[in-house]
Each structure stands twice: as structure tokens, then as C-alpha cells.
Structure 1
Amino acid sequence: MNRLAAQFSLIIANDNRSGGTHHVEEAALDWARHVLHLQNTRPASQHVRGRLYALAAAFTGSALWAAIDGGRLDRARHHLSEAVALAGLSGDPAIQFRVWGHAGALYRHQGRYANALAADEAAKRTRAARNPLYASLAHARAAVHHADLRNRQAALRSLGVAEACLNRADTEAPRPAWLRFYDSAEFHLLALTTAGTLGLWEEAEAHAHHTLATLRPDLRRNRALTHAYLAHAQIGQREPELAVATASRIPAEARHGRTAHLLNTFGHRIHALAPHSPATREWFETELL
């Protein structure tokens, strides 16, 4: 079990560093298959079987997340079905919470915002959500999905609840490897996403700066995403030069998946705002190199 848990932590670390690459997805799937092979070939107590199903669900959930992050939504749909089934068999409320969170992310990328919000509600109903840290994450994600549905009041209310829960949480208590990413920096990244979707550009920029100031160095994918969202917020405030400077800080190796999509949309927005600006010309010339 300890070796499997260590491999899962390695998958999480690779995802934090590089984002949703094929390598992360396939490595997670290989370990999920290995765990299920153990489940089917080794005698074990019910308790051990539950832990093995939880690990299989965890690895499959990481494959699901990598596929979502990389924009491979057809593969993500397949992984979701397997992850939901394995999480149910595990009886582990924390794993069930995680899988519902990933389901919400997939539905959002599919444009199925009501389903994403329903996934948030399912996460809130797990026993894990009695913990303020889990509850905070669920409410922060719900804020993003309320914003997608253009329900500003509900989005801002959910952010308020998420922040209050985070303030009550014992952030020093032990937590699963997959939940170590959630802290004040991640809360503000979700708040940045919410504010940007609602067109609250000044608020979005403030959240972005908070995230960048407190984000752990190993969360490179999230740093790239934050810079991309910040560049959008600066375009929203009609600051093309500053926006290009921000977007240009994103390293080439991070420009894939969600970050690449945001930068592509950024290009359209800056051209629409200032088609003849030197900053716009600089951006497109750099992109062609």
C-alpha cells in the first residue's frame, strides 16, 4: 500500500508540474490497472479491498483530470465512468468528493454548466464535505459554475461561503496528497476564474496577484494559468501592453491544454481591442516564432 501511495503522490507531483500531458494520463491509467490486477488476484480483507478500490479510483481520477486539463474530452468521459464506479465501490468519501469535483470540471469544459453545478452539489453531500477545507473547495468550484450560468449573486455568495469555510479549516492537519493543492492561493485562482467570467476585471486582477504572491513554486501549471487569466483581466481593463507583457511570461512548455486555449482566446481579444497596437503586433510576431 505504501508503494502505491508513493506512486500516486508522484502522479500528483507530475500533474502539478506539467499539467494534463499524455504521459501523466497514461502513467495514472497504468497504475490503476495494476491496482485492479491486485484486487482480482490477491486474497484480501474487506478493509484492504476498500483501500485498493480507493487507490484505483484515485489513479483513474488523475487520468481523468489529465485528460480534462489536456482538452481530451472524449477520453475524459470514458475515465469518468470508471472513476465514479470505483469510487462508489471504495466507500471512501474523500475519493468520492474528488471524483465529483473532476466531473464538474469535465461538464464545464463541455459547456454543460447545470450538470457541473449538480456535480458540485453531489460533492457537498459526501461525508468529506463536513470538513471545512473540503466544503470550501466545493463552494469555490460552485462559484465558477454559477458564474458560467451568469448568476452573479449566487457566484459571489458561493465565494463568500468558500472563504469563510477556508478561514475555519485546519490547514495544518494531514490531508490526502491530491488535496494538498488547495489553499488560499487556489481559492483566489478559483475566485479569479469566477470574476473573469462575470467580467469583473479589477476584482479578477486582484485575485490573480494574490495567487501569484502565495502560490507554491511546484504548482507550475497553476502559475501559467494564473498569468493567462491575469492577461485576460488586463485586456478587460483596456491595457494591451501590460496584458502582452503578462502573457509573454508564460513559458513555452506550459502552453498546452487549458493554458493554450486561454492564450488562443487572448489573441482574439487583443486583436479586437487594439488591432494596430505595437503590443498586438509584438504578440503575434512572437507567437509565429
Structure 2
Amino acid sequence: MSVRELVDAVNDAIRDFTGRPGNTSERTGFRWLSGENRWPQARQRIALERVTGLPITDLGFVPRGKPKTAPLPPAALPEDPSVHRRRFVGAATGTAAAPLIAAPNSRPQRVGTSDVIRLRDKMETLVQLDAKRGGHTALERAALAGADEALSLQRRSATQRVRQRLYAVASDFVSTAAWSMIDAGQLHAAGRHLDRALTLAGMSQDPDMTMQVWNRRAMLARQEKEFGEAVAAAQAMQATAIARRSPLHASLAHARTAISLAHAGDRRTALRSLGRAEDALGKVRMADPRPPWITFYGPAELYSLTAIVRDVVGDPAEAEAASYRALGALPDTYRRNRAYTTARLSLAQLHQGDVEQACATSADVFDIMAGDPLPGRMRRLLGDFHRDLITLAPPRVAHEWTDRYRTEWSTPV
């Protein structure tokens, strides 16, 4: 939660028990963080307790002398209040999603920042599931249900800022449903979802969500072999406001452009875009917070995308090296990405004529994903491996590979 979001949540809580929105400023929030303001006003203290579900003193605030009004419920003071205050304001995601304390004059039909945070927590759970298993229809259904919930809240009373955030969350859910279908290989359904997600992103006026949709539109177009459309979508990513001001987003936009250009046959421009992606990523502070949808992107993912570009433009040795770097940098939780990158590694080895090693590497894909069916996008990639294996290897080797992995490879999600 940013300081701006914390202040909005406090003002919403004040409105719930007074009938009028609070006027707490962002500057006040930063004064809480720094310790300059060690005891908020009475209404702000009540609101902070309701937002977090914790006594005000547990948040690190210290009373100024003897209060004139009846004291709030007592709580043991922490040993170092400033540390607790910084944790509260700087990492409020874990506490702000706590259940609100019911108030006699509360208005349950009012929607506030806490509702947005609750939906974002659901979205982050789906992102983690995707990283582990990949796209599948159950993930699509869960994402669409989340979007429906976000949009249903629009029928209740809310500030304009909260309404825009609800549209942004709904766009995030629908875009995730689209991505699940892309990864599952159900491309037609993905296209419908992306059209809806782009509309919701526009209504939210959120450039981050707009870029997310264009990113997945570029991926969909590439899967459909519409390479001109893929280039246009990647360039639309570069044109978003978030890509112009965030080197992380800019790097992803350039990398996606590089892949699209490589498939379109423009080797020189593809490699130039890849270099720009590397330069932009070098300016990113990887410890900075980021939206859940782009948590996958970093050095490991750029190495993986580099492997694709290099293999497509005819540099399989460089593709193999980039794949190894990607596997070395990938977090253990990114199971699906690890399997996909391993499949790309096997292709790079095959394209260098190292048939035995390529077959052994491709076998690792099935071991990594053991227990779950392969997502459709991964099965397509292994289909590319199979076709190249038939072309480049003796018939006996291709037949043995097919006989051994036919079941795992052909089972749909």
C-alpha cells in the first residue's frame, strides 16, 4: 500500500463513522512515517485502528501527555515505536486488508480502499498459481469471478478514485483470464477477454493496466503468427505513460518488441530492441515494489526472452547460453517458467545438432511439470521440438522420443 492509498483508506474510514470524508493529506501520511507526527488527531486515530484492526499504540504512535478525552483501549507500547510506525506505513498491505471493526454508524453499502486491497490480494493469489502451474480453465474462471466481483461493487456508493481502482482491478482479473487462455492454447477465448480488459483499463485511466493488456495482446498475436500485429502491440506498450517513466516497464516493452520483430524476420532491429531492453533493466532497482502482474519480469525473464530472440534469428549457441543464464536466475517458485525455458534450451541444443543432449533436456520438462498437465503453450513449443527433431535427427530417435512422451505431451489442460 502506498502512502496515498493509506491516506485514502483513512479518509474513507472517517467518512464511515462521521458521515463526511476525512481530509487527511498525503503530507500527513509522510509525517507519520518519519515520526514527525507521533500522535494523530482523534478521528485519524480511530480510522487507523479500523483500517488496520490494531490499537493505535501498537502501530508505534505515542500519546502526548494526558489525553483530554477518554483514552483509547490500552495496549503495551512497543520497545521501538518508530520501527513499528515505519513498518506500518511502508508495508501496510498485510495489515490494511484486515477485517474492519464494525461501527454503530457504519455504512456497509459504501465501497472503500479496503475493498480494493482485498481484491488485489485475490489477484496476487492467482498470479502465484499461474507461476506454479500455468494457464488452465479453472484459473480463467477464478479470474473472471474476481472481475465480476469488482464490477458488482460499482453499484455501491464510492469515490471517483475508488471507482477507477475497481475498474483497474477488474481489468487485471480479465487480463489474467486472457493470459490463462493464451498459456492454455485457447487463443480465441483469450482475444475476447483482452478486448474487454482493454476497455476496463481505459475506464480506469490506469496506464499500468493498459500496458499489461498490450503486453498480452502482443503475446497472443505471436501465438497466432500475426507478427505484424504483435509488433504493433509491442510498440503500443512502449507508448504507454508507464513505459515512458518506468525503466522496468520500458525494458519489458523493448523485449516484447524484440521477440515480435525477430519472428517478423527483422533481425537487425530485433537485436537493437533487445539491447534497449538490457539498458533499461540496468536502471531498475529490483527491490522496489511493483504491481503483481509484472513481478515475473527481471534478469531471468530477460535472459529467457533473449534465448527466444537469438534462436529465432539463427544464433542457437547464444540462445543456449541465455537459456542457462535464465535457469540459473529463475526463482524456484516459477515452476511453469522453468519448464518453458528448459524446452527453449532443448530447441537451441537441437538447432546446433546436439540431438542426444536436446532429447535429454526436453525430458526435464516433463519432470518439472510432473503432477500437472502441460499448458497448451508449452505443448506447442514441444510440438516445434518434435517437428525439428524429425527433420534433424535419425528417424529412430524421433520415434523413440514420441513413444516415450506421447501421453504427457498430448494431454490437454
Into which bin does the TM-score normalised by the smaller protein fall? over 0.9
* Alignment partner of 1:115 is 2:229: yes
Give the share of equivalent positions with the same residue, in percent. 40
* Alignment partner of 1:163 is 2:278: yes
Q: Where do 5+ consecutive residues of structure 1 fail to align?
A: none
Which structure ranks higher in relative contact order (CA pairs < 8 Å, sequence separation ≥ 6)?
1
- The residue aligned with 2:142 is 27
- Amino acid of the structure 2 residue aligned with 1:166: L
Kept after mapping to 2: 8 A contact 1:240/1:280: no
Change (3 A) 1:6 1:202: same
- The residue aligned with 1:146 is 261
Give CA-to-partner distance per residue, 1:266-288, whole Å, 9 cap, x none. 112112212245x4343123124
* Alignment partner of 1:5 is 2:120: yes
* Alignment partner of 1:212 is 2:337: no
User: Once the 2 structures are TM-superposed, how far is the Cα of residue 167 of structure 1 from its aligned partner?
Assistant: 0.4
Moved more, 70-79 or 248-257: 248-257
The within-5 A match list for 1:231-242 is: 231-242=346-357
Find the partner of 2:213 among 71, 95, 99. Answer: 99
Find the partner of 1:260 among 336, 354, 379. Answer: 379
User: Once the 2 structures are TM-superposed, how far is the Cα of residue 254 of structure 1 from its aligned partner?
Assistant: 5.2
* Alignment partner of 1:84 is 2:198: yes
Aligned partner of residue 282 in structure 2, secondary structure = helix
Provide runs of 4+ in structure 1 moved above 6 Å.
none
Kept after mapping to 2: 8 A contact 1:189/1:226: yes
Moved more, 109-118 or 48-57: 109-118
Give CA-to-partner distance per residue, 1:201-223, whole Å, 9 cap, x none. 00100110000001011111111
Equivalences, count:
287
Alpha-carbon distance between aligned partners in 1 of 2:334 and 2:401, rounded to the nearest angstrom = 25
- The residue aligned with 1:202 is 317
Find the partner of 1:60 among 150, 167, 174. Answer: 174
Aligned partner of residue 250 in structure 1, secondary structure = helix
- The residue aligned with 1:271 is 390
* Greater Cα radius of gyration, structure 1 or 2: 2
Give the TM-score of the pair, scaled to structure 2: 0.68
Give CA-to-partner distance per residue, 1:35-61, whole Å, 9 cap, x none. 11111x211110000000000000001
Find the partner of 1:125 among 239, 258, 267. Answer: 239
Alpha-carbon distance between aligned partners in 2 of 1:283 and 1:52, rounded to the nearest angstrom = 49
Give CA-to-partner distance per residue, 1:166-211, whole Å, 9 cap, x none. 0011211111111111110000111111111112100100110000
Alpha-carbon distance between aligned partners in 1 of 2:221 and 2:258, rounded to the nearest angstrom = 15
Change (3 A) 1:169 1:288: closer
- Amino acid of the structure 1 residue aligned with 2:337: N
Give the TM-score of the pair, scaled to structure 1: 0.96
- The residue aligned with 1:135 is 250
- The residue aligned with 2:49 is none
Moved more, 118-127 or 226-235: 118-127
- Amino acid of the structure 2 residue aligned with 1:216: P
More helix by share: 1
